[in-house]
Structure 1
Amino acid sequence: MGLQHTKNGSKLKNFVEYFNVIIMNGKLNKQVVDLQSSSGITSAESNEFQRNWNDEKWEKSQKEGNYDRTRSKLNFEIAYGGIVQEIDKSRTVGERIALRLKSLGLDDPNDGRKNKNIRICGKFIIGGSRERMHQLAFGNQTVDLKKGADNSSIVRCKDIEDWAKDVYKFVSNRWGEDNIVGFYVHLDEMNPHIHCCVLPITDQNKISYKMVFGGSSKNEFREKMLDLHSSLSVINKKYGLERGSSVIETGARHRSTEEYRRDLDNECTILQQDISTNKSTLDSLQKDIHKARIKKKSLSTMIDNLEKKHEELSNKKDELLSQINSDSESMSEIKEQLKNLNDELNLIEEKIIDKKEKLKSAEDELSLLQASIDKKRIEGKALSRENAKAVENIQEQINYRLSYSILPEIYDEFRERLSKLNISDAEFFNGTILKDLTENGDKIMKCALLLFAGYLDQAISFAESSGGGGGSNTGKWGRDEDEDDKQWARRCMLMAHQLMKPVTKIKKKR
């Protein structure tokens, strides 16, 4: 019986569409909203928001991060009044904050504080699932996400501008347009997104992060965050982005994922602190080396002057000695002059010895400082590389863990719906990886893990011991040289599915 002729055909058609959205696309199109508090926006943060970088900084950013300079021309900002324009780099975000506070007659509460920890700014990152954001930003154009790729022919689509304007309007209505000090849309990274900086100004024109964003209690903060997700989803739904579940709602179910993210985030924070400490040490060493060079130059000049003076006095002494040999009448006066000259020469020689010893110490100090600087520079580069890897690890691990958090729900929902189909309809899914994962997911995943780690023999043995068909069609199995983790993981999953299929016994004819 054909699927279109079954009495459950409509139900099955809807489910197949659901299947295509979730499984073939790999994920639902969800909105992403992240809020972080800040005591201000540093120059480095502002430069990143505005892409206010020189060639050297761009080269470093592309090497260590996921930036594509050939797409940087597609970035834009939403200015006052909801106007789409090129990013204005004439003022930093920090300067914009200062101007806004001045217009309100307010001082930055962190000014003059040794520990600048008063929260005066909310930093939002707003986006969504990569596939949907790419559709909004680039339409049907193919963007090459490999490092060093040339995407200069890519043009920006109007959909991303309309989405950004609607989000800008939402932020303006919620917290006041005058309090938006930066609203930047980045299309030159892996996933298009918004960076939005908002000052927490109360109705009484006071700065209060707690009142505007945080709430007076944990419960109030919880309610504010839930309402933020729900309210923004009304805007995002128009652009094919669903609300998604907040960690506040899912609670303990996603706590391990969130804790893992925080652990990785802490790793990055520690690395950033190490980088900052390294930079401070370098700055201090640079100052010390500058002083040491001045000291060395001063001592060298002093030694040169003393040696010239010593040479002049030695010449004068030789003249006086020649006069003694000529039996000069003023012998006693000449001897007195010679005595004074010898005393002065001895004093100068002592000074020269002293200054040369100090010069040697200064040169040794300078060599040590230069060696320390060279060492700190190497350490700084290593820390930067480690930090870049940690950031990449956060992104990769969150993606994997989010996938693991949603897959069981997909399997459970599929199992529930599958049980409601009649036998004919249900047979449509026989042999599919989706159905087998719902029924035998743990074993397939374990087999895939062995394959991913390169243990083919162990994977085959495990499959056979678990009732699978084993490695009848493994062929020349292995990872290709140019295969990334995602491609390799996908092939391992498909191979594990094949290995775990039960052996089909062929009955012999009698």
Structure 2
Amino acid sequence: MNTDIKQAMHVEAGKSFGTSEANENERRWNNDKIDRKNLDPTNHYDKTRMKLNFEIGPDGKVHPLGYQEKSLEVRLQERLTELGWKPFKPDSKIQPNCCAKFIFGGNHDRTLEMAFGTQAVNLDKSADNSHLQRCPEIEQWAKDVYDWCAKRYGQENIIGFQVHLDESSPHIHALIVPVGQRSKSGRECVMWSAMFGKNRYECGRILREMHTSLYEEVGSKYGLERGDSIDGRNVQHLHKRDYIRKLTKDAKQAEKAVKGLQTMIRKLEREMLAGRNRLKEIDEALASGKITLDKYEVQKTDIQKLIAEYQSKLDDKAGKLQVKEQELEQLTKDVAKVRSVVQPFRNHKVDFTPPQIAEKVPLFGTDKWVERQNNSIAKQFTEIVRKIEFLYRKDAARQVEAAQRNILADYGELYQLRKDVKTLIENNNGLKSTLETMLDQFANPSLRSKIFAIADALAGGTPAAISSGGGGGGNSDSDFRWDGRRPDEEEEAYRRRCLMFAVGMINRQNGMKSYKRK
């Protein structure tokens, strides 16, 4: 049976590298963590094979996985500090790339053969593979890939080089810092463009050259052909499991963004409704002579300005919501598509010699000769058919297993959606109760006057008498201490917080449930 035996290489730009990624690469997990990870149908971490994982150290030798005292993210930060790397401000929407995350692999059957030889490997979840021993070929392959990386990027810039044999297919994770030289000073610094190009065209050219170089220097030695070109094709250069995980993550982020925008829109609509109600109230107050015309005009202008600002924000959020809803719809379709498409039957090529009559027809006993030849041909034909049947049955079982995993993933998403719905209902009930309390207070002229008086004093920086209902004036044990305006707080947000704080104070003084705005 001949199948395509190709090398695989995926590189991803990293703007950061967190502890969770480092712990996964170095398998700094306990059994409970592994069990939780395996609840995801796309994950397959075999505890009985984890002892076979290893890494290539800075000395170029094989070591147990996670043997270094300093964790992966700490070693990365130390190297970045040596190179004088400084990220942008934490609140910046863009950040520079500080590391490259490589994954090296190859044909499933071939990499398993390199790792375990002819030993039987059971890839079912919870299977016992404790009998397996690691073969030298996988170690030599890892060393050769390490040397290839060191030659291109410098050994000092290889922060981690972990080899995982406990998943479906053996593969390598390499964390590398891209380093270049500044044109003026010639000083070494973190420079993504120096290693991977300044634009998409350069990056594509470099990646093609990398695939060719990897094949010529490493892959060809192990029977791994150069990977297929992805030029002109809409192909995700990821393992199917990782691709599903990425699409699902993107869809969840888009869904979260949609929910956030919907919440903002509902909030803006409530604010606008409250503003309109406030207009009606001051109209009534003017008609009854409770406020002067000058004060009425000032309040009316402020409220109308606030309503106009809310309307502008509402239009902006509505436009963003439409875009995010379309993005979520497309991602949902992509997830459904990639999960529904099971890998097609492999194009198995069975090497065999067609049955032939090898003897001459005898002069006597022709009937027995014909019977003997027919039996021989039938036996050879049956063996060939059974071999093909075995291969296709194996593929069919694999497809059934993949479909079952997809169903489990769908049930997991359904469970999460139900939890989200429950949380949204609870939040909605809480907001409804809060809104009703606030409306009741604003309907009371005395309470309304107190609330606005306190809010105006706080917004203007005037000290206000603050108590928690039982006396005291904003002491350290009060949960209603006022911290004033925050350095990065906008004027509108600050005034809104003053108003919410004043509402909370009045609630507490009147023995009502307090409302805190976070």
What is the TM-score when the length of structure 2 is the normalising length? Answer: 0.49
Structure (1 or 2) with the greater helix fraction: 1
